[in-house]
Amino acid sequence: MSTVFEPLPRVEQDRKVSGAQSREVEEQTPGGGNGFSEDLVVLKSPGSVAAEQFRFLRAQIIRPKSGAPPRTVLISSSLQGEGKTFAACNLAVTVAQGMDEHVLLVDTDLRNPMVHNIFGIGRSPRGLATYLARNEPLSALLHKSFMDKLTILPAGEEPDNPAELLSSQKMHSFISEVRDRYPDRLVILDSSPVILAPETMSIANEVDAVLLMVLRGATPRHVVRDTMERIKQEKLKGIIFNMDRNITRARYYGYGYSYRIREAAK
Ligand SMILES: Nc1ncnc2c1ncn2[C@@H]1O[C@H](COP(=O)(O)OP(=O)(O)OP(=O)(O)O)[C@@H](O)[C@H]1O
Ligand SMILES: [Mg+2]
């Protein structure tokens, strides 16, 4: 049975922090925190309702009511722009702010990677795609973040064949490798939308837990149902309703279209 988590409120007032406030947060952040995005609301506005919800979510994930805590958590959704990256990045920071857990945040959205932007690390030519395509050692591809306990594996260069890479045996072993090699870390994976990038399903089948974002009032009900049916029941640990009505409405057609163009261009 999956849990319906507390809804994530739309963050608007919170994001409008003054320059002075923002500098203060960055000064207090180990490593300076230079260049991280306003989207990291748990750092920019730690007293906000949204930050509180992320702390609540952290507690539910690392101390579940039943069963062992998951070691690998995929954040996904049906369509584009439902808040997957927003949730994955804020959750990663929140877990790393806790007492015990270290976090590895992995950007598996090889088509539209954003994690590097959120953390201001620049689009690196090296990352998950490099690991999958070129057999580079994983340790050489990890980025330290401005938080000691948070490490990032960006997506890396845009491959021609994201679907093949993410569905490959190498991706399968990647997930077991990070799980076994870093036993003290929670691995959080950001992803492409399930309906529009079906290879996300092969990752969903490998991880311990899938959290599904649903953009309330925008994602059509039948689309959510379709996504839920694709994910194995035992993997789907929770649904997070994102209340941000400001996000461009579920970009079903637009996204599919741009995907088709890329596929056709191959
Ligand atoms: N609760 C929220 N409050 C305020 N802004 C939000 C919220 N959720 C998402 N956003 C904003 O909405 C935009 C889209 O969110 P995000 O990039 O996380 O979606 P996504 O599901 O990762 O999209 P994609 O499928 O394209 O990767 C971002 O600019 C993000 O900052
Ligand atoms: Mg995203």
For residue 188, report the phi and psi dihedrals to the nearest 5 degrees. -110, 125
pLDDT at 73: 97
CB 157 within 8 A of CB 130: yes
Q: Which ligand is nearest to the CA of 90?
A: 1
Residue 80 backbone phi and psi in degrees, to 5: -75, 150
Q: What is the DSSP string of the chain?
A: --EEPPPBPP-STTT---HHHHHHHHHHSTTTTTT--TT-HHHH-TTSHHHHHHHHHHHHHHS-SSSPPPSEEEEEESSTTSSHHHHHHHHHHHHHHSSS-EEEEEE--SSS--HHHHTT----S-SHHHHHHH---GGGG-EE-SSTTEEEE---SPPS-HHHHHTSHHHHHHHHHHHHH-TTEEEEEE---TTT-TTHHHHHTTSSEEEEEEETTTS-HHHHHHHHHHS-TTTEEEEEEE--TTSPS--HHHHHHHHHHHHHH-
pLDDT of residue 123: 76
Residues of the chain with pLDDT under 70: 1-2, 12-34, 245-266
Ligand 2 mean position, distance from CA 250 (Å): 13
Q: Where does ligand 1 bind, in terms of residues with CB under 6 Å?
A: 8, 10-11, 39, 77, 80-86, 109, 112, 114, 193, 242, 244, 247
Residue 155 pLDDT = 96
Q: How far is the CA of 81 from the centre of ligand 1 (A)?
A: 5
Q: Which one of the ligands is nearest to 107 CA? A: 2
Q: What is the pLDDT of residue 207?
A: 97
Sign of CA dihedral 247, 115, 105, 19: negative
In CATH terms, the superfamily for domain 3-265 is P-loop containing nucleotide triphosphate hydrolases (3.40.50.300)
Q: What is the pLDDT of residue 14?
A: 41
Cross-sheet strand order for the sheet of 236-242: 3-4, 236-242, 209-215, 72-77, 185-190, 102-107, 150-153, 143-144
Asked if 80 contacts 173 with a C-beta cutoff of 8 angstroms, the reply is no
Written as one letter, the residue type at 100 is D
pLDDT reported for residue 31: 38
Which pair of tokens denotes residue 30?
């180990």
Q: Are 80 and 254 in contact (CB under 8 A)?
A: yes
Q: How many CA atoms lie within 13 A of 88 on its CB side?
A: 35
Model pLDDT for residues 117-162, shown as the tens digit of each residue: 999 988 777 999 999 999 889 999 999 999 999 999 999 999 999 9
Give the domain ranges of the chain: 3-265
Task: Read off the tokens for 245.
Answer: 């009505």
Distance of CA 39 to the CA centre of its chain: 13
pTM over 0.85: yes
pLDDT in the model for residue 248: 55
Q: What is the whole-number distance in angstroms between the Cα of residue 56 and the centre of ligand 2?
A: 22
